[in-house]
Structure 1
């Protein structure tokens, strides 16, 4: 029995593959602070949101986390839990922002929002479940600053990639 696929299925698969490739490449980068990565796969999620809507962005983001964790060997580990929590927090913030502000937020603004939500979601899980120590709170300003800087960088990339014309329907 063959499964029929739609144009949207192919689009999601292509965008997810791109985000997964970026995710795997970022996993290989050294980090001065554990868990802090540039988050360039977020560019793909934000572009998917802007071009094709929240549903496509959710699929791309969740497939990236799942397949990316399988490829780098972190599936069902604390790293996977943090990545999934960050993605869910980011998606929730993006969904809320687009519901409230509609198309008035730029790619740059959405990337910064997503990066900050991602980091905050990860931090809350790390603090609650993994390292419930008050000293961890001292890292929060550093982590949020890194998220802001990386959000600005990914937002700049997304802004350069976002076309001025509306896309064709998936």
Structure 2
């Protein structure tokens, strides 16, 4: 029997991304267990991990953590490849696109809180565009925009403040 020609060795960075993705999955599971005041409104706690990763390791790491979290949570919740999974993926993609765009703009105008607000709005936009194009092909879906945008603004603000606190406590420890 011949040995494998290459052996994959996980780097310290790989382990760090895996830990962050696991934390994101845990928060996504907690998020799914929380009661929702209205269908489709969740706090998006797992986005805290994506924002933390963006601020500490950069956009590419945040993208991997976000995608791993979405796939892992979908697998554990039994929703992998269901419409809910695709909505989550579309929301994650919208969020990541706005986060990438925010990195191209002057840093003085963007804190982790403002990036969190952008990410929340990007998440909502991605989900609504997919829902309009695939699940509910009717313009009536736009009537959901005011309450969903209000919820996205509130949760984006809270998640941004929580991420800021987490980043400040991590800085204080070093």
Instruction: Tell me, yes or no, whether TM beats 0.5.
Output: yes
Q: Equivalent of 1:48, from 47, 53, 56?
A: 53
Q: Equivalent of 2:101, from 96, 102, 121?
A: 96
CA RMSD for the aligned pairs? 1.9
1:36 deviation in Å? 1.4
Higher relative contact order (CA 8 A, sep 6+): 1
**Which residue matches 2:12?**
7
**Which residue matches 1:131?**
136
Show the 5 A alignment for 1:26-65: 26-65=31-70
Secondary structure of the corresponding residue to residue 3 of structure 1: coil
Q: Equivalent of 1:73, from 78, 81, 97?
A: 78
1:77 deviation in Å? 0.4
**Any unmatched runs of 5+ in structure 2?**
none
2:156 is the counterpart of 1:151: yes
Question: Please, what TM-score do these two structures have when normalized by structure 2?
Answer: 0.90
Secondary structure of the corresponding residue to residue 4 of structure 1: coil
Question: Please, what TM-score do these two structures have when normalized by structure 1?
Answer: 0.92
2:129 is the counterpart of 1:117: no
CA contact (8 A) 1:107 1:162 kept: no
Cα distance change on mapping 1:31 and 1:165 into 2, 3 Å: closer
Aligned residues: 168
